[in-house]
């Protein structure tokens, strides 16, 4: 994948320069997951992370004997995976394709290595991850308010 | 102030605690026309009277629909009505969704929980006059999949090529295979130009406040965001003052009102 392709496919990386995108192109690819297939499971090592291009992915909590609890669904242009950026680099949740999905897949180890070499790249990537995390936090707070209950 | 007798011709269960009543004038002389967003006062003889929004197709002639959720004595009595029961009806009252103001603009319909009921007439109106508007989208959020209302309509609207429909739930278990998350997370999924969009929002006040703030942050002018405010009503014609909301009487100046005019008041706990 070249820089222009990556820029077209990943709106989330809009703030990266062409040079920075060029550093990431060797560690990014495309992958498809049919509905119901797992992208990763909780407690696994976070070796990859994803940006949804098409489809829908759920983050779930799996508990034996109970139906999986879907916490949130993630659609186009959303980041799937934040734990890859922070030690101990283990997934906290399970990710599963709700619909047939096409995603950009990033080699997390490779991206972290590039960030260690290039502090400016690290800053931009961290800002992107932080932005997604803040949005998720706001949404989760609103979800907790149980908006539709009569008061 | 005098209720007219209306007869129940259909009772359709929507969810565990919600039904849609279809009513016709008992003696053939009742008012049937209404504007999307308006409400009537429904009177169950011997129990009481409550304001309930009209939820049916305004172009459908003599049948009026109201969607009622069980929250108290009168609404319980309404939900327990059977076909051929008679109730009293006053109205319609109140302001309507400003679809006329939305011509040639993009239109967003954002509903939470039972808030889809007063917006449903607006959707019918828009679809009946589709060429007058830009893009049209319905975003609907509920607590769980079991709380979804008007599922047949949602499927029907979703099957069209000229309106986008997105639905999400706050909490899900299998077999739900749709979105999970608050309704505002659906906004990036639909196409609209914030600078020329009219948004019609209805649901619990907390939900309307959260949605209106998000729309404003995206660039939709608060003057172009409309919400539907509820307050306790008794007379519905501006005499008793029970529905006062700051400087407005919801029965006369609402229920549909621009977010710009109520934004500050939605932060006042005493109101």
Tell me which residue in B113, B176, B182 faces A143 most closely, judged by beta carbons. Answer: B182
Residue B140: closest CA among chain A residues belongs to which residue?
A148
Mean pLDDT of B175-198: 94
Q: Is the pLDDT of residue B109 over 80?
A: yes
- Strands (E) across B115-255 are located at 136-142, 164-169, 179-180, 197-202, 225-228, 244-245, 248-249
Chain A: give the shortest CA distance to residue B71, in Å.
Answer: 8
Residues in B closer than 8 angstroms to A147, CB to CB, are 112-113, 141, 143, 170, 182-183, 203-204, 206-207, 210
Q: Which of residues A15 and B31 earns the better pLDDT score? A: A15
Q: Structural domain of residue B38, as residue ranges?
A: 4-93
Give the residue from B78, B93, B108 where a domain finishes. B93
d(CA B4, CA A24): 71
B217 falls within a domain:
yes
Confidence of residue A151 (pLDDT cuts 50, 70, 90): low
Tokens 């995390």 sit on residue: A133
pLDDT tens readout for residues B128-143: 999 999 999 999 999 9
Q: Output the domain CATH number for residue B178.
A: 3.40.50.80
Q: What are the structure tokens assigned to B242, written together?
A: 């029970």
CA angle B68, B70, B76 (to 5 degrees): 95
Share of chain B above pLDDT 90, in %: 81
B161 falls within a domain:
yes
CA angle A22, A25, A29 (to 5 degrees): 165
CA angle B25, B27, B33 (to 5 degrees): 35
B30 falls within a domain:
yes
ipTM: 0.79
Using the Cβ of A144 and the Cβ atoms of chain B, whether some distance falls under 8 Å is answered with no
Residues in B closer than 8 angstroms to A56, CB to CB, are 178-179
Q: Is the pLDDT of residue A119 over 70?
A: yes
Share of chain B above pLDDT 70, in %: 98
Phi then psi for residue A22, to 5 deg, are: -60, -35
What pLDDT sits at residue B29?
Answer: 66
d(CA B105, CA B192): 9
pLDDT tens readout for residues B239-264: 999 899 888 999 999 999 999 999 98
Indicate whether B109 and B77 sit together in one domain.
no
Using the Cβ of B179 and the Cβ atoms of chain A, whether some distance falls under 8 Å is answered with yes
Chain B: give the shortest CA distance to residue A74, in Å.
Answer: 8
d(CA B116, CA B99): 16
- What class does CATH assign to A3-144? mainly beta
Mean pLDDT of B211-227: 96
Indicate whether B75 and B103 sit together in one domain.
no
**DSSP H or E stretch at residue A48:** strand A48-54
B263 falls within a domain:
no
What pLDDT sits at residue A150?
Answer: 59
What pLDDT sits at residue B19?
Answer: 97
What pLDDT sits at residue A74?
Answer: 96
Which sign does the torsion angle of CA B245, B249, B251, B255 carry? negative
B242 falls within a domain:
no
- In chain A, domain spans: 3-144
Indicate whether B156 and B200 sit together in one domain.
yes
What pLDDT sits at residue B36?
Answer: 97
What pLDDT sits at residue A66?
Answer: 79
What pLDDT sits at residue B166?
Answer: 97
Cβ separation A148–B113 shorter than 8 A: yes
Q: Output the domain CATH number for residue B69.
A: 2.40.30.10
| Nearest of B136, B211, B199 to residue B168 by alpha carbon | B211
Indicate whether B222 and B111 sit together in one domain.
yes
B234 falls within a domain:
no
Confidence of residue B170 (pLDDT cuts 50, 70, 90): very high
Q: Is the pLDDT of residue B9 over 80?
A: yes
Tell me which residue in A69, A72, A98 faces B173 most closely, judged by beta carbons. Answer: A69
Identify the weakest region by mean pLDDT among A39-48, B108-117, B139-148, B228-237.
B228-237
Q: Is the pLDDT of residue A146 over 90?
A: no
CA distances from B106 to A70, B114, B136, B161 (A): 32, 24, 6, 15
Cβ separation A139–B174 shorter than 8 A: no
Q: What are the structure tokens assigned to B6, written together?
A: 């209306």
Using the Cβ of A75 and the Cβ atoms of chain B, whether some distance falls under 8 Å is answered with yes
Indicate whether B139 and B184 sit together in one domain.
yes
What pLDDT sits at residue B174?
Answer: 65
pLDDT tens readout for residues B43-99: 999 999 999 999 999 988 789 999 999 999 999 999 999 999 999 999 999 999 999
What pLDDT sits at residue B1?
Answer: 80
C-alpha neighbours within 13 Å on the C-beta side of residue B129: 16
Q: Is the pLDDT of residue B30 over 70?
A: no
Cβ separation A99–B177 shorter than 8 A: yes
Chain B: give the shortest CA distance to residue A26, in Å.
Answer: 29
Q: Which of residues A138 and B55 earns the better pLDDT score? A: B55
Which residues of B, range 27-46, sit inside 8 Å of A by Cβ?
none
Q: How high does pLDDT run on average in chain B?
A: 93
pLDDT tens readout for residues A37-70: 999 999 999 999 999 999 999 999 888 777 888 9
Mutate to test the interface with B, among A52, A70, A74 (most CBs of B within 10 A): A70
Residue A35: closest CA among chain B residues belongs to which residue?
B177
Residues 6+ apart with CB under 8 A from B96: B35, B36, B37, B38, B256
Cβ separation B179–A75 shorter than 8 A: yes
Q: What are the structure tokens assigned to B222, written together?
A: 């608060």
Tell me which residue in A68, A139, A147 faces B204 most closely, judged by beta carbons. Answer: A147
What domain count does chain B have? 2
């Amino acid at each position: 994948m070249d820089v222009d392709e990556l820029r077209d496919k990943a709106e989330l990386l809009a703030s990266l320069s062409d040079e920075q995108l060029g550093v990431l192109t060797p560690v990014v690819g495309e992958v498809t997951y049919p509905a119901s297939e797992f992208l990763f499971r909780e407690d696994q090592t976070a070796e990859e992370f994803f940006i949804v291009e098409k489809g829908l992915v759920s983050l779930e909590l799996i508990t034996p004997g109970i139906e999986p609890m879907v916490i949130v669904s993630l659609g186009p242009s959303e980041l799937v995976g934040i734990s890859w950026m922070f030690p101990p680099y283990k997934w906290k949740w399970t990710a599963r394709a709700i619909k047939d999905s096409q995603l950009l897949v990033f080699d997390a180890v490779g991206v972290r290595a590039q960030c260690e070499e290039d502090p400016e790249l690290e800053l931009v990537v961290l800002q992107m991850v932080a932005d997604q995390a803040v949005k998720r936090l706001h949404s989760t707070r609103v979800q907790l308010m149980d908006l539709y209950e009569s008061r | 102030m005098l209720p007219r007798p209306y007869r129940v011709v259909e009772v359709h269960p929507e969810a565990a605690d919600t039904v849609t009543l279809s009513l016709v004038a008992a003696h053939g002389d009742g008012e049937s026309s209404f504007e999307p967003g308006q409400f009537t006062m429904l009177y169950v003889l011997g129990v009481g009277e409550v304001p309930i929004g009209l939820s049916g197709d305004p172009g459908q002639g003599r049948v009026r629909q109201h969607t009622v959720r069980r929250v108290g004595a009168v609404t319980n009595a309404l939900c327990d009505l059977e076909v051929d029961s008679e109730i009293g009806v006053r109205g319609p009252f109140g302001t309507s969704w400003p679809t006329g103001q939305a011509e040639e603009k993009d239109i967003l319909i954002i509903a939470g929980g039972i808030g889809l009921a007063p917006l449903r007439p607006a959707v019918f109106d828009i679809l009946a006059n589709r060429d007058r508007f830009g893009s049209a989208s319905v975003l609907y959020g509920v607590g769980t999949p079991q709380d979804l209302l008007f599922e047949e309509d949602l499927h029907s609207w979703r099957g069209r090529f000229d309106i986008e429909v997105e639905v999400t739930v706050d909490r899900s278990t299998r077999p739900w295979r749709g979105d999970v998350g608050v309704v505002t997370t659906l906004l990036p999924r639909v196409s609209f130009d914030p600078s020329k969009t009219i948004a019609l929002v209805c649901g619990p006040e907390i939900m309307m406040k959260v949605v209106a703030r998000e729309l404003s942050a995206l660039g939709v002018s608060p003057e172009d965001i409309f919400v539907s405010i509820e307050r306790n009503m008794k007379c519905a014609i501006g005499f008793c003052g029970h529905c006062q909301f700051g400087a407005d009487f919801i029965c006369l100046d609402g229920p549909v009102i621009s977010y710009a005019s109520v934004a500050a008041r939605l932060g006042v706990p005493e109101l």
